[in-house]
Structure 1
Amino acid sequence: MNRPLRARDLGFACGNISAGTCNSIADVPGVRVGHRTLIDGDLRTGVTAIVPHGGNLYREKPVAAVHVLNGFGKSAGLVQVEELGTLETPIVLTNTLSVGTCCTALVRHAIAQNPDIGRETATVNPVVFECNDGYLNDIQALAITEADAYAALEAASSQFAIGSVGAGCGMSTFGFKGGIGTSSRRLDLDGQHYHLGVLVLSNFGRPGDLRLPDGRIVSPSSVLDGTVTEKGSIIIIAATDIPLSDRQIKRVIRRSGVGLARLGSFWGHGSGDIALGFTTANILSHDEKATLVGLQILNEDRIDLLFEAMADATQEAVLDALVAAGSMTGRSGHHRPGLFDILKSLSPEA
């Protein structure tokens, strides 16, 4: 497989903190990502799965938090993450009308590993996020199946594709083709290397509002009349191996909004902009017998470094999706140009 074009190939590095080795959410040890992509006729859709660690997530729950920038969305599982501060399934991304199907797949996946769910022990909280790919995809076809969700889970790897793949297949961003993007930052704390990685499902932004790191404002059309409304969605998943509490994770993932604002977004009325973060360094056991348990957390006098990393990695992950996605024609001949194609037309040397 040829290496995909990435944001840094065009000089779109964001911030001053060094990226991880792969500049990916999978720079956090144990984190894996898998896709299932459906392209057939008018279908331009798919499923993306993020697996936080290689163990049994129901029994070994990563500490987690969620933050809603603008809540025009139909995601599932957020209430329990907000209340309990843990994850107990992989995170699945898909299109708006396929959330229920993917929830059922995650429940079956958890029960297969834990037959006591709902009988001898508690039920399970599947976490599924969505964006509306209905411009390029025949979303009414309800094409996503449980088998597609399983396939994304089975495909999960530390090496994964970006751009128009998985849940990102039919997504749009600032009027360009959007999709899956990722970026990471390496953070040195007390003489040890840690990482904060971000993966986005990018499907937001008003055409004409995109601002590149070099200051250019680019549009998929020659007319910037400001009449198109800001709508769409972006899902931001952050992973780290730094030990944090769920409250600290929430503080960090709020800074994803800084990265979106740098790109030109103002989180419009019709946009569902949601961030979820987790740490692999603090795991809570489902079968814990002790009354009191200990967690290591970050000294908050050092948390600004994570705030900066979150803002920079979110901004770059969106640019990664835009650069990698390429142009696409989908349902009823609807078309989204790729950012790289537009930049080439503006500057043949790009």
Structure 2
Amino acid sequence: MSRSPAAVLAVAVSAAVLAAASGATAQDGAAARPTIRDLGRAPGILSPGPLNAITDVAGVKVGQVTLRSGDSIRTGVTAIVPHGGSLFRDKVPAGLSVANGFGKLAGATQIRELGEIETPIVLTNTLSVARGIDGVLDWTLKQPGHEDVRSVNAVVGETNDGGLNDIRARVVTAADVVRAIETATTGPVEQGAVGAGTGTIAFGFKGGIGTSSRKLPDSLGGFTVGVLVQSNYGGVLSIDGAPVGVRLGRYYLREEVENERADGSIMIVVATDAPLLDRNLERLANRAFAGLARTGAAFSNGSGDYAIAFSTAEGVRRTPERRAGQAMVADWPNDRMSPLFVAVAEATEEAILNSLLKAQTTTSVIDGKPVTVEALDIEAVKA
């Protein structure tokens, strides 16, 4: 369903009026909620970067478009841009790992075949993947120097936000995707019920977008690993090994386990400035699932669990000159990969917890029935 400029303006004005009347916006609510570090918890042993975000990896940008309107539109777009140059010209090496393939990740086979990414990575809802591809194509084809481009591998991931969003309305447009890419910035990343995480649910609580990073000591290379997640899956929520989901009475197999649904999905995007080629980037993506497991994920039959890792290091970029013939490129050795594995597991775990903690309670109307998904109880996490 396309939206005219007038309709978009009407939605924006209505949202502004409602926000003024209530004295707060959804983003204000997220800002008031803490991250896991704000609660005195620091998953793992490594230190985060200054922003504790995927944008701690130099050059990486994130843009988000949040769509909230009426009683039932709760969705959006999140775009991750690996570097500020020409991505199609200077492709980045990448690796893909799939823990459970119940998903619709566009561009996956070419990542696995060629080991590279040539577009921004876009996240949205399941029925908007096609619109996501359209938006990535629109943005890529209009870039200077791309007048003769005839093939583009758009990378678009998804989770199903139909529990809080009228997903069949398909309100995401190609223009929304272009806007997310064009407004992407370095710096702090908004977390919680924003962008592609506006309507997601995790462990029965409000999920969303979360991010975190780890900086290795200079003796281990000094590299940064950043992670961004779109959380929308189930299981038994665990924080620092404590079964918080059991304590709060929400978990997979409850009352057989009380019909709590474990299916869902998660998209994990990993960025690093370590000079890794696609093989070791796939290994890095594999280890992101260690962080997912620590949160109590069920890895259920109906869950699409994907991790994409890319390197921004200039020494490994797939430039036209390097693609034209034999080239010498940097390659971090296998024997020194383990600290990076620790970093990605820790950052993934923390990003997921932040996606839950920063998300606020969200209401909607689905199939004519009111729905409320509560935010994770902060006091229960403190206990």
TM-score clears 0.5 = yes
Partner of residue 103, structure 2 = 73
Q: Which has the higher strand share?
A: 1
Partner of residue 335, structure 2 = 301
Letter in 1 for 2:278: D
Larger CA deviation: 318-327 vs 254-263: 254-263
Q: Which has the higher helix share?
A: 2
Partner of residue 91, structure 1 = 121
CA positional deviation for 1:114: 5.0
- The superposition leaves residues 246-288 of structure 1 with CA deviations (integer Å, 9 ceiling, x where unpaired) of 0001111101111111111131000000000000012111354
Partner of residue 318, structure 2 = 284
Give 1:338's match in structure 2, choosing from 375, 380, 383: 375
Larger CA deviation: 219-228 vs 29-38: 219-228
CA positional deviation for 1:75: 1.4
Q: Structure 1: how far apart are the matches of 2:144 and 2:353?
A: 39
- The superposition leaves residues 212-248 of structure 1 with CA deviations (integer Å, 9 ceiling, x where unpaired) of 1152422554794224342000000000000001000
- Report the 3-state secondary structure (helix = DSSP H, G, I; strand = E; otherwise coil) of the residue aligned with 1:210: coil
Pairs within 5 Å for 1:12-23: 12-23=41-52
Partner of residue 175, structure 2 = 147
Letter in 1 for 2:57: V
Pairs within 5 Å for 1:101-120: 101-114=131-144, 116=146, 119=148
Q: Does 1:47 align with 2:77?
A: yes
Partner of residue 201, structure 1 = 230
- The superposition leaves residues 43-91 of structure 1 with CA deviations (integer Å, 9 ceiling, x where unpaired) of 0000000000000100000111111110000110011011111110000
Partner of residue 211, structure 1 = 238
Q: Structure 2: how far apart are the matches of 1:255 and 1:89?
A: 24
Partner of residue 314, structure 1 = 348
The answer to whether the Cα contact below 8 Å between 1:199 and 1:317 also exists between their aligned partners in 2 is yes
Q: Structure 1: how far apart are the matches of 2:323 and 2:372?
A: 56
Letter in 2 for 1:84: L
Q: Structure 2: how far apart are the matches of 1:331 and 1:47?
A: 21
Partner of residue 157, structure 1 = 185
Q: Structure 2: how far apart are the matches of 1:236 and 1:114?
A: 30
Task: Give structure 2 stretches of 5+ with no counterpart.
Answer: 1-27
Give 1:255's match in structure 2, choosing from 275, 280, 287: 287
- TM-score, normalised with respect to structure 2: 0.85
Partner of residue 15, structure 2 = none
Larger CA deviation: 129-138 vs 227-236: 227-236
CA positional deviation for 1:5: 2.2
- Report the 3-state secondary structure (helix = DSSP H, G, I; strand = E; otherwise coil) of the residue aligned with 1:74: coil
In structure 2, do the counterparts of structure 1 residues 305 and 99 end up closer, same or farther at CA, with 3 Å as the change threshold? same
Larger CA deviation: 86-95 vs 192-201: 192-201
Aligned residues: 342
* Structure 1 vs Structure 2 CA RMSD: 2.0
In structure 2, do the counterparts of structure 1 residues 343 and 162 end up closer, same or farther at CA, with 3 Å as the change threshold? closer
- Report the 3-state secondary structure (helix = DSSP H, G, I; strand = E; otherwise coil) of the residue aligned with 1:38: strand
CA positional deviation for 1:156: 0.7
CA positional deviation for 1:12: 3.1
- Report the 3-state secondary structure (helix = DSSP H, G, I; strand = E; otherwise coil) of the residue aligned with 1:247: helix
Pairs within 5 Å for 1:240-251: 240-251=272-283
- Report the 3-state secondary structure (helix = DSSP H, G, I; strand = E; otherwise coil) of the residue aligned with 2:260: coil
